[in-house]
A and B are shown apart, each in its own frame.
Chain A
């Protein structure tokens, strides 16, 4: 088990390295750097000015050197201008060049500085993750129990009317991406066309979340994942309900309720556990869409801002976090599976 986790962590680091390198490469392509120079410096820069702007800030170095600097295995870039003033990657504004450390990458705990939001990447990510974590918590609280209930109700009597109507409902929710359901929910529950029960914007929910401004974003994200988990639960439940031991229990004369609650449920919930864990990375997509649509300035919103402004270091931070989320949930689902189903051994 220990070796298994260690190996998975190794793969995780390798994946994160490869991924950040790809992000690094794409954001450091020349047209992107030119866009960055023009948005940070001045829109009407001449081509030679762009070149010198980039050179003064260390963007003109070879890709590997820049990536090494970001990682913290290469010394940070420094530049001395004609007046003898030294600026550089590791030198904070107002700090003397001699006092600054020569290495400042993520190995030293320095995630860099966001050019678009003008703040430390680590503090941006920490606050934004907090906001998104709160949203995700409510999404899971709403989504998981309701989808499990729908799945179990549909699966315990296969082919019944309950089954058919609940299955249709789950197909409809899986066919409704967040940007469609969000738009429909806003129209029907937050505008003059329908009932004005909720707010169509969640900006206020960042400080004081309430039922009024937080319901629609949570429902929008939950709906899309709900159908999928419900269908998986239903499939697993129908399979369990046809198993030999359920027939034995029925022949013993146990009541239907006891069979479902005591015998079937425990085995039927193994498969959905994996699905729920693997659904979490998918929720990340929903989060980006919903945060954009409802103007909730969390992690997804930061991703959009970073990508739209070619904010290299914020983008790298965002990708590291998302990779860790994706791979960590995979790891948890694998380990959890072993605990839930003792027949499976990892080796």
Chain B
């Protein structure tokens, strides 16, 4: 087979990604035709910037989903290598004629295009989840700090500022190492941090159904059983030197890879204090409103006021910040990869790939530039999405 020209490469890539295009068109078509019924999400389709951002983000979501779950989109397996294709240029054909390396080969003669597509999976899985977790921590601590003030606020704010005063990279270098994983510290941190969603849900539902124990008790028991099981599955592991192994192996639903766990925990840890500060600031602002005073006079409990009166009213800025923060988490994941921390060196995620190829950057740029552009486009998409959401939320 012959080497493809640039036109050929672009056509091939376009065809290769056709499931993503179909899914994107379907999403946009359904969303635009129902946009008046979909609230803030529907309003997004009134703003060009928001639509572009949403399109880019969904492109990567579908790419991650189709490649990681179904194994589509990738011409070659991400770890497949063909020795003669080392540092192959874009469009070069495999010697046995079974296909091409559409965007060339890397230092280890693997397909750059397939790895770039497959690598989106790690980012799309970790970044939003870690951000969500950071929001759980930030909201659960930020609401009472802003609402009650006093000593609680002083202590929590001091701790948040303490973490923020740490240079992020120093923190990563201290936390994300083999030696620290061996001490089990990430698992203990996970045990504390992953507790917050459970606490959040408990307080949320308890304050809502406090007056109706007939409903409250079954709901809370269900949350504790299911949530507790997921929580324990997450933190207990059965590897060689695992620190926490509470749950018997038969009940343990999933064992997160310790490398991914430590990356996840440190991204949550770095992001939580900022979310805490935002939530605290917003709560301080809303606290003095009349409807809060009205709630207090009605005899509503402080947690009910915080979670069911204040929180829904600060959702606008929080949603916008959520999008920006996913982008920031993506950058942090890339930073970790860039310094070769956490994930294994043959992991296809973008940061690690950039790190792998940057030594030979001036001779062979394509193995580095492709993941660099991928990362750039995802973060850009998230920023544009946040911008569109902010614009539309301000119109209310």
Q: Which residues of A contact B162 (CB under 8 A)?
A: 15, 18-19
Q: From known contacts A191-B361, A289-B335, A292-B339, infer whether A303 and B170 are also in contact, taking CB-CB under 8 Å.
A: yes
Interface flags for B133-150 (1: CB within 8 Å of A; 0: not) read: 000000000000000000
Q: Is B334 an interface residue (CB 8 A)?
A: yes
B180/A288 in contact, CB under 8 A: no
Q: Is A322 an interface residue (CB 8 A)?
A: yes
Query: Roughly how many angstroms separate A251 CA and B88 CA in the complex, as a whole number?
Result: 66
| Stretch of B73-81, B259-267, B371-379 at the chain-chain interface | B371-379
Q: Which residues of B contact A179 (CB under 8 A)?
A: 334-335, 338, 351, 354, 372
Q: Is A172 an interface residue (CB 8 A)?
A: yes
Query: Roughly how many angstroms separate A307 CA and B254 CA in the complex, as a whole number?
Result: 32
A171/B380 in contact, CB under 8 A: yes
Q: Which residues of A contact B363 (CB under 8 A)?
A: 191-192
Interface flags for B167-187 (1: CB within 8 Å of A; 0: not) read: 111100111011110110100
Within the complex, the shortest CB–CB distance from B87 to chain A, in Å, comes to 13
Q: Is A285 an interface residue (CB 8 A)?
A: yes
Q: Is A60 an interface residue (CB 8 A)?
A: no
Q: From known contacts A26-B175, A29-B185, A303-B173, infer whether A171 and B387 are also in contact, taking CB-CB under 8 Å.
A: yes
Q: Is B103 an interface residue (CB 8 A)?
A: no
Q: From known contacts A31-B182, A183-B354, A304-B173, infer whether A190 and B362 are also in contact, taking CB-CB under 8 Å.
A: yes
Q: Which residues of B contact A116 (CB under 8 A)?
A: none
Within the complex, the shortest CB–CB distance from A312 to chain B, in Å, comes to 11
Within the complex, the shortest CB–CB distance from B233 to chain A, in Å, comes to 26
Q: Which residues of B contact A323 (CB under 8 A)?
A: 165-166
Across the interface, A183 reaches (CB within 8 A) one of B339, B368, B380, namely B368
Q: Which residues of B contact A285 (CB under 8 A)?
A: 167-169, 335
Interface residue tally of chain B, by bracket? 35 or more
Q: Is A106 an interface residue (CB 8 A)?
A: no
- Looking at chain A's contact residues, the main secondary structure is helix
Q: Is B311 an interface residue (CB 8 A)?
A: no
Query: Roughly how many angstroms separate A323 CA and B335 CA in the complex, as a whole number?
Result: 21
Q: Is A115 an interface residue (CB 8 A)?
A: no
B334/A177 in contact, CB under 8 A: yes
Q: From known contacts A304-B339, A307-B170, infer whether A183 and B183 are also in contact, taking CB-CB under 8 Å.
A: no
B380/A31 in contact, CB under 8 A: no
B362/A289 in contact, CB under 8 A: no
Q: Which residues of B contact A35 (CB under 8 A)?
A: 179
Across the interface, A318 reaches (CB within 8 A) one of B170, B358, B376, namely B170
B174/A307 in contact, CB under 8 A: yes
Q: Is A269 an interface residue (CB 8 A)?
A: no
- Looking at chain B's contact residues, the main secondary structure is helix
Q: Is B383 an interface residue (CB 8 A)?
A: yes
Query: Roughly how many angstroms separate A319 CA and B166 CA in the complex, as a whole number?
Result: 8
A23/B174 in contact, CB under 8 A: yes
Within the complex, the shortest CB–CB distance from A82 to chain B, in Å, comes to 32
Q: Is A346 an interface residue (CB 8 A)?
A: no
Within the complex, the shortest CB–CB distance from B354 to chain A, in Å, comes to 6
Q: Which of A16-42 contact B (CB under 8 A)?
A: 18-19, 23, 26-27, 29-32, 34-35
Q: From known contacts A19-B166, A281-B167, A323-B165, infer whether A29 and B183 are also in contact, taking CB-CB under 8 Å.
A: yes
Q: Which residues of B contact A176 (CB under 8 A)?
A: 376, 379-380
A187/B170 in contact, CB under 8 A: no
Q: Which residues of B contact A293 (CB under 8 A)?
A: 358
Interface residue tally of chain A, by bracket? 35 or more
Q: Is A6 an interface residue (CB 8 A)?
A: no
B179/A327 in contact, CB under 8 A: no
Q: From known contacts A26-B175, A26-B180, A200-B361, infer whether A15 and B165 are also in contact, taking CB-CB under 8 Å.
A: yes
Query: Roughly how many angstroms separate A66 CA and B245 CA in the complex, as a whole number?
Result: 32
Q: Is A277 an interface residue (CB 8 A)?
A: no
B379/A177 in contact, CB under 8 A: yes
Q: Which residues of A contact B338 (CB under 8 A)?
A: 179, 289, 292
- Write the chain A residue with the least CB distance to B174: A26
B179/A308 in contact, CB under 8 A: no
Could you say which of B162, B334, B362, B376 has the most chain A C-beta atoms within 10 Å of its C-beta?
Answer: B362
Q: Which residues of A contact B380 (CB under 8 A)?
A: 171-172, 175-176
Q: Which residues of B contact A23 (CB under 8 A)?
A: 170, 174
Q: Is B345 an interface residue (CB 8 A)?
A: no
- Write the chain A residue with the least CB distance to B164: A326
Q: Is B26 an interface residue (CB 8 A)?
A: no
B174/A175 in contact, CB under 8 A: no
A19/B372 in contact, CB under 8 A: no
Q: Which residues of A contact B170 (CB under 8 A)?
A: 23, 303, 307, 315, 318-319, 322
Q: Which residues of B contact A284 (CB under 8 A)?
A: 167
Q: Is B384 an interface residue (CB 8 A)?
A: yes
17 A–B pairs (Cβ distance < 8 Å), ordered by A: A26-B175, A30-B183, A31-B180, A32-B177, A171-B380, A171-B383, A172-B380, A183-B354, A183-B368, A183-B369, A192-B362, A200-B362, A289-B335, A289-B338, A304-B169, A307-B170, A319-B167
- List residues of chain B with CB under 8 Å of any chain A CB: 158, 161-162, 164-170, 173-175, 177-180, 182-183, 185, 327, 331, 334-335, 338-339, 351, 354, 358, 361-363, 365, 368-369, 372-373, 375-376, 379-380, 382-384, 387
Besides A31-B180, A307-B170, A322-B167, 18 new A-B residue pairs in contact (Cβ under 8 A), listed by A number: A26-B175, A27-B174, A31-B179, A32-B179, A174-B383, A183-B354, A186-B361, A187-B362, A187-B369, A192-B362, A193-B365, A281-B165, A303-B167, A303-B173, A315-B170, A322-B166, A326-B164, A327-B165
- List residues of chain A with CB under 8 Å of any chain B CB: 11, 15, 18-19, 23, 26-27, 29-32, 34-35, 171-172, 174-177, 179-180, 183-184, 186-187, 190-193, 200, 281, 284-285, 288-289, 292-293, 300, 303-304, 307-308, 310, 315, 318-319, 322-323, 326-327
- Top-8 shortest CB links A-B: A307-B173, A31-B179, A175-B380, A191-B362, A175-B379, A187-B365, A177-B331, A180-B372
